[in-house]
Amino acid sequence: MSVWAPTATSVDVVVTADGSEPRTFAADRNGEWFTAPDEAAALIDRGATYAFAVDDESPVPDPRAPWLPAGVHAPGRTFTVDPDLWTDADYVGRSVSGAVLYEMHVGTFTEPGTFDAAAERLDHLVELGVDFVEVMPVNAVNGDHNWGYDGVGWYAVHEPYGGPAGFARFVDACHGRGLGVVLDVVYNHLGPSGNYLPRFGPYLTEASTGWGQSLNLDEAGSDEVRRYIIDNALRWFDEFHVDGLRLDAVHALVDRTAVHLLEELATATDALSARIGRPLSLIAESDLNDPRMITPRDRGGLGMTAQWDDDVHHAIHTAVSGERQGYYADFGSLETLSTVLRRGFFHAMTYSSFRGRRHGRPIDTAATPATALVVYTCDHDQIGNRAVGDRPSAYLDHGQLAIKASLVLLSAFTPMLFMGEEWAASTPFQFFTSHPEPELGRATAEGRKAEFAAHGWDAAEIPDPQDPETFRRSKLDWSEVETSGHRDVLDFYRRLIALRTEIADFAAGTFASVDTDFDPDARWFALHRGGHTVLCNLGAEPVTVDIALEPLLEWHPVSTDGPRTTLTGHSVVVGRRLP
């Protein structure tokens, strides 16, 4: 049991066993590391809680504590997954490329909000046809409920969800149903409560990401900070059998070294993948529109398996909804929609009015698979960071939802759903926190109201993140699945996903497999994949298009008459093109 504390004069290990009084042991120094003496280590190995006191300050949790059963301010415990828990020896895994992902927040996916409760709903995902569950961050945070991006115990699992044992059971249950697991991890900042890393060493810099201080990736002492991050990532793969990591906001990683942290992580991940004999994936969330993110390392890139693509979301959402506020301002035309479906990025050395400068770089569509881009009709940000956390189902009709789903799920990209969208869930997904510190709770609530008041929203309409009702409102209502209307949407999603395997043209693939047609005045749009077409009417008025289709799936009302197809109202038809 060791801890890195390069500037410390002394480190004590405070151990509490079986409810007895805490005992303090002086750690042995070995260069920049301090190691618990044998007696303390033996007690810790037998289940005693422990914490470190640096230079006689109050004891705080180990930065690598694998289990924080009493919270992020309390002593931690060791944890090793019971080998007998695993039943996934026959699970071979797969890359996320071309798969169907399903993003969920464990705390709001079910009423109990635990891993075990989420596991009871996995059959729904299997029947839906998804391949991977992408879990929002589960590292330890202060408070009972949180989106997860305020994590401070990076090596621990949030105890109210079920702790590390609960997470291991969940991963095993997913693998038992043929589902892979992608875990959302945050390496660009730490939360505002329970971050004790600066007591131990130079983990942070003076720079800010906007969410907190930046991690020290390139200044003095950064080698161990980088090791801390990479060891954490590999632990989820190795000890918890996770199949992929979604790396939050990598554009906020400040790294000026010759080998970027992401490249170093990709190298280590590939080495572990070869050792354990199953595919491991890295998905970056990046707003840089930089193709180097998804370019292989041997071609000078960072080697990410895939990255989220907000441009595709923005182009589809604005074309269907008509919204143009904020960063949507440059999107909305059908030409823009055509561009992103054929080229991946809209901003590719083009002027971004939201940023006030040129942005992005074109993707080499001949050398880059379209599956390297993860696309979606919505995600936790695009819902939860709206003022009231309203889903598209709150302001779009089911025909519009069907259009969005069809363009995402039958694109050449790697599609992702956000929990509940498959049945047009009526529950919102709002921004919620449960900071125990009153002053931090007030600051969070006031900051949220001020942010949206600046955009013209009445502060009284903005949900208080600290109000427990904000969290409870965000829980899915599973009774909707079997109700009229919701069930129709669910059936449509299931058929869309099935078409990806039934029709070769609709499998995820290359940019070359995509073509488009559209009429900006009549408001129809066609996505062509080989000999098949997704034909959409984005307008409210009926439209007749000179494309003959043999329908495979449609959202009514749609009719075909010889060489033409007529769509009435917001509707979509998927079919084989006829001569």
Q: How far apart are CA 442 and CA 448, in angstroms?
A: 10
**Residue among 548, 551, 543, 555 at smallest CA distance from 574:** 551
User: Of residues 12, 172, 285, 421, which has the active-site annotation?
Assistant: 285
Angle value at C-alpha 346, between 507 and 386, nearest 5 degrees: 90
Q: Is 385 annotated as a binding residue?
A: yes
Q: Is 390 annotated as a binding residue?
A: no
Q: Is 251 annotated as a binding residue?
A: yes
**Residue among 280, 284, 282, 304 at smallest CA distance from 294:** 304
Q: Is 311 annotated as a binding residue?
A: yes
Q: If DSSP codes are grouped into helix, strand and coil, which group holds residue 273? A: helix
Q: Is 314 annotated as a binding residue?
A: yes
- Paired sense of beta strands 350-352 and 357-359, if any: antiparallel
DSSP 327-348: GGTT--SHHHHHHHHHHS-S-S
**Residue among 440, 423, 444 at smallest CA distance from 432:** 444
Is 467 noted as a catalytic residue in this protein?
A: no
Q: Is 310 annotated as a binding residue?
A: yes
**Phi/psi at 401 (5° precision):** -65, -40
Q: Is 313 annotated as a binding residue?
A: yes
Q: Is 391 annotated as a binding residue?
A: no
Q: Is 383 annotated as a binding residue?
A: yes
Q: How far apart are CA 139 and CA 119, in angstroms?
A: 18
Q: Is 168 annotated as a binding residue?
A: no
Nearest-10 Cα torsion for 307, 308, 314, 319:
80
Q: Which residues contact 403 (CB under 8 A, 6 or more apart)?
A: 320, 536, 537, 538, 555, 570, 571, 572
User: Of residues 150, 218, 248, 464, which has the active-site annotation?
Assistant: 248
Q: Is 556 annotated as a binding residue?
A: no
Tokens representing 261?
């942290």
Is 397 noted as a catalytic residue in this protein?
A: no
Q: How far apart are CA 457 and CA 513, in angstroms?
A: 43
Q: Is 18 annotated as a binding residue?
A: no
DSSP 37-69: -HHHHHHHHTT-EEEEEETTPPPB--TT-SB-T
Tokens representing 387?
């003022």
User: Cα–Cα distances in Å, from 283 out to 174, 230, 238, 293, 501?
Assistant: 19, 15, 17, 10, 23
Q: How far apart are CA 409 and CA 427, in angstroms?
A: 23
Q: How far apart are CA 389 and CA 385, in angstroms?
A: 6
Q: Is 179 annotated as a binding residue?
A: no
Q: Is 55 annotated as a binding residue?
A: no
DSSP 367-408: TS-GGGEEEES--HHHHHTSTT---GGGTS-HHHHHHHHHHH
Q: Is 359 annotated as a binding residue?
A: no
Q: Is 384 annotated as a binding residue?
A: yes
Strands (E), 422-531: 514-519, 524-529
Q: Is 440 annotated as a binding residue?
A: no
Which are the catalytic amino acids? 248, 285
**Which residues define the annotated binding site for substrate?**
246-251, 310-314, 380-385
